[in-house]
Amino acid sequence: MCDAIRRKAFQIRIAKFILGLCTVAVTQAATQPKTSSSAPESMINVLASGGPHPSLGEEAQTFNRFVGTWDGEFTSYRKDGAVYHRKGELHFGWVLDGRAVQDLWIAYPTATHKEREIGTTIRFFDVSLKQWRIVFILPEFNYMVTLQGGREGHRIVLRGLDPNGLLLRWTFNEITRDTFHWQGEKSYDGGKTWMLEEDHHMKRRAG
């Protein structure tokens, strides 16, 4: 009888000890700040959208057809005659509750450029202007431009000014489900003539 009582008392003390450990663990978890590793994932999850907002209607198709991942052949032309070829990739997706489209342009490292080159565009449809407005930034080169435009026949044409006030014209051409041709042009004479600066051929990545 005494052994049974002592055994029961011992079991109760063990149970209280385990309960105390659990209480401490729960309290520490509740008061400890979240690790920084969870913050980027949380931000991306909130930023991304599964598709366009219904309010965009048919206009959403202007850029919705580019959603996904693309492999690119990038060619750049400089005013001094230099030509640069690089491979890269492009990612398109809806963001901000489906009211905007964001992309990431990524050029891979080369023998002369040890780091990748990455820029991003945010584009949204301005219902008052009836045009798409975009902001493109390339932080590595302190570069930012704004353009606007939309569909012109089978093309998408965006127009704006570079940081020096020169006219820009960006065009999506030859658009199919799995390919498109993107060109960036600049005018040094107020739009009389245009110089091709960027000539990129994109192919949708399988899978």
Give tens-digit pLDDT for 129-160. Answer: 999 999 999 999 999 999 999 999 999 999 99
Residue percentage of the chain with pLDDT more than 70: 81
At 19, which helix (H) or strand (E)? helix 2-31
* CB 46, CB 91: distance < 8 Å: no
* pLDDT over 50 (residue 18): no
Residue 34, pLDDT > 70, answer: no
Cα–Cα distance measured from residue 141 to residue 71, given in angstroms and rounded to the nearest whole number: 23
pTM of the full structure: 0.78
Distance set, CA 197 to CA 74, 191, 201 (Å): 11, 15, 14
Mean pLDDT of 163-176: 97
Q: What is the mean pLDDT of the chain?
A: 86
pLDDT at site 76: 95
Q: What is the pLDDT of residue 112?
A: 86
Task: Select from 126, 54, 131, 127 the least CA-distant residue to 94.
Answer: 54
At residue 38, the pLDDT reads 65
In the chain, the amino acid numbered 154 is H
pLDDT per position as a tens digit, 67-121: 999 999 999 999 888 999 999 999 999 999 999 999 999 999 998 888 999 999 9
Distance CA 10, CA 102 (A): 63
Mean pLDDT confidence for 24-40: 44
Q: Does 19 have pLDDT greater than 80?
A: no
